Amino acid sequence: MFFPFVLGIFINPFYFSRKGLAKNLSMLAPKITGKVLDVGCGNKPYMSLYSAEEYVGLEVDTPENRAAKAADLYYDGEHFPFDPGSFDSVVSNQVFEHVRDPDQFLTEISRILRDDGLVLITAPFVWDEHEQPHDYTRYSSFGMTSILNRHGFEILELRKSVDDIRIVFQLLNAYIHKKTQTKSRAVNLLLTILMIAPVNIIGELVSWITPRNPDLYLDNIVLARKL
């Protein structure tokens, strides 16, 4: 689901979003090396992209995250359990909008990064509320730049994922998906094929003949260096 290939257009309700993230992360991931910390790692969907000598997944200590058994370590949601300068790189994918105190979060990232260490963060700009009630913020490209600069990071590259007409089709599919979900996986798959796949296909075709719009996009993908 996180790397939607051709089949994804038929069965993935988040086809455009996931495709855009995977494409942009794949292009920036080679810069993430050495000892890598994945903050809010989930099930580590992008781990294979990074050339890490050591890869550590960190999650907030909750019963749900403990039950998932995907993270290597857990923390209290504020203080990372590592010494200063412990990591060469930090990644955090689609987590920043769920952080109640982003200043504390970036302070901790800066603390555990070595000098000149890199951070790769993705965060949505346009998306619905999700993982309620722990959904606090949306970031524009200027917002991402400002808060990272304020915490001593230099922006090396900022990409805007899905900055064309496909954003409209993705939001439509997100609406359809949320409003038609059942408890049956078979029914959900059938509904996706019948209702969501056509929107994906039309959106892909229309994007070929319409211009991009960098002012309206789904996700920020930011590579920054600790100064």
- Position 21 in a domain: no
CATH code at position 221? 3.40.50.150
pLDDT for position 57? 97
pLDDT reading at 4 higher than 90: no
Q: pLDDT over 90 for what percent of the chain?
A: 93
pLDDT for position 6? 85
Question: How many domains does the chain fold into?
Answer: 1
- Position 50 in a domain: yes
pLDDT reading at 68 higher than 90: no
- Position 11 in a domain: no
Beta strands per DSSP E along 33-191: 33-39, 51-60, 73-75, 87-93, 113-124, 153-161
- Position 45 in a domain: yes
pLDDT for position 156? 98
- Position 201 in a domain: no
What domain range is 132 assigned to? 31-164+211-226
Beta strands per DSSP E along 3-127: 33-39, 51-60, 73-75, 87-93, 113-124
- pLDDT tens by residue, 121-139: 999 999 999 999 999 999 9
- Position 18 in a domain: no
- pLDDT tens by residue, 48-67: 999 899 999 999 999 998 98
- Rounded to 5, what percent of the chain is helix, strand, coil? 40, 25, 35
Whether 126 and 217 have beta carbons less than 8 Å apart is answered as yes
Q: Identify the bridge partners of residue 91 per DSSP, sorted by sequence position.
A: 38, 120
Cis peptide before 133 (omega within 30 of 0): yes
Torsion angles phi and psi, residue 37, rounded to 5: -110, 130
pTM of the model: 0.94
Average pLDDT value for the chain: 96
pLDDT for position 194? 97
- pLDDT tens by residue, 155-176: 999 999 999 999 999 999 999 9
